[in-house]
Structure 1
Amino acid sequence: MMTLLRREFTADVSLEQAWQHLARVERWPSWAKHIKQIDVQPLGELGPTSTGLIRLTNGIKSAFSMTEFNPGRNWKWVGGFLWLRIHYDHRFETVNPQQTKLIWIIEGDGFGVSVFGKLFAKIYNQNLTTAIPALIAEMNAGNGRPG
């Protein structure tokens, strides 16, 4: 497996608040403008058996299924890009009682991952460059703090 992308950022919310905010993935389009809609089964917060379908604004659809779920620490799901398998790890670390570091690690495997994985990472990184500040602002606003 090849690491394609790693992004780290801090939000001014507790780990529990960050987890709860992000575990409601159907609400991600409010800050991730490249996402049109996310459908998750079973409904509600993510869990160890969650599966879903992400519809992007460009019309692409990507199904995912949970492969690792450690409440308060991380969740990882796998989806596809072309013929590659893309693994999305969402990690949470307490900085202090009112700050949480989020670490998102994207890995890929499959034929041609060294070429097509890098292409995917470039596009995805551009989306995250816009989405992460919007997410931080949304989480901080929900905590009564300016974005």
Structure 2
Amino acid sequence: MTTVTLHATGPVSPAEAWERYARPARWPQWAPQITGVEVPGPRLAAGVSGRVRGPVGVTLPFVVESVDEAARQWAWTVSAGPVRLHLLHWVADGPDGGSTTGLRISGPAPVVVGYAPLAQLAIGRLVRPLDQRSAGQPV
């Protein structure tokens, strides 16, 4: 088991960054590895299970373990057969305004190390305005 912690800071407000997490339908807007999400409701809640869709139609089941709206923190477990990744996400005030988001990924070392660069790209996009991401601006 390996754990990696990632951070990204950008100009999007903490409230907006949190809403981008809290509403799974918005995940494809900022996470390039996600093309769709199947969940029973519009907002994250502890105990919710669903499926996240990635490139070439791959879908993976997940379960939301916890959600703390006040702390802007949530955790989920994503499965791929016997492999499980546990992901803990949070949003805080940025050091100079905007927001900082963090992600702690735990799971088998090859999967965690392989996923970390894509996760870093995604959380960098999470804290950037939509127009900067679509216009090819640096994330």
Q: Could you tell me the TM-score, scaled by structure 1's length?
A: 0.75
Q: Equivalent of 1:125, from 111, 116, 128? A: 116
Instruction: Quote the residue 1:56 is aligned against.
Output: 54
Amino acid aligned to 2:125: A
Question: What are the Cα deviations for residues 59-106 of structure 1, in whole angstroms up to 9, with x where unaligned?
Answer: 321111111111132100112133132111011222369422111011
**Higher Rg:** 1
Separation of aligned partners in 2, 1:119 and 1:82: 15
Q: Structure 1, unaligned stretches of length 5 or more?
A: 109-116
Structure-to-structure mapping, 1:18-97, within 5 angstroms:
18-41=17-40, 43-73=41-71, 74-95=73-94
Separation of aligned partners in 1, 2:81 and 2:61: 12
Q: Which runs of 4+ in 1 moved over 6 A?
A: none
Q: Could you tell me the TM-score, scaled by structure 2's length?
A: 0.79
Separation of aligned partners in 1, 2:27 and 2:2: 24
Shift of 1:46: 1.1
Separation of aligned partners in 1, 2:56 and 2:114: 12
Closer, same or farther: CA 3–94 of 1 in aligned 2, 3 Å: farther
Shift of 1:140: 7.9
Separation of aligned partners in 1, 2:48 and 2:30: 21
Name the structure where strand makes up a greater proportion of residues.
Answer: 1
Which one is further off, 53-62 or 125-134? 125-134
Instruction: Quote the residue 1:113 is aligned against.
Output: none
Percent identity (aligned): 24
What's the C-alpha RMSD, in Å, of the aligned pairs? 2.5
Q: Structure 2, unaligned stretches of length 5 or more?
A: none
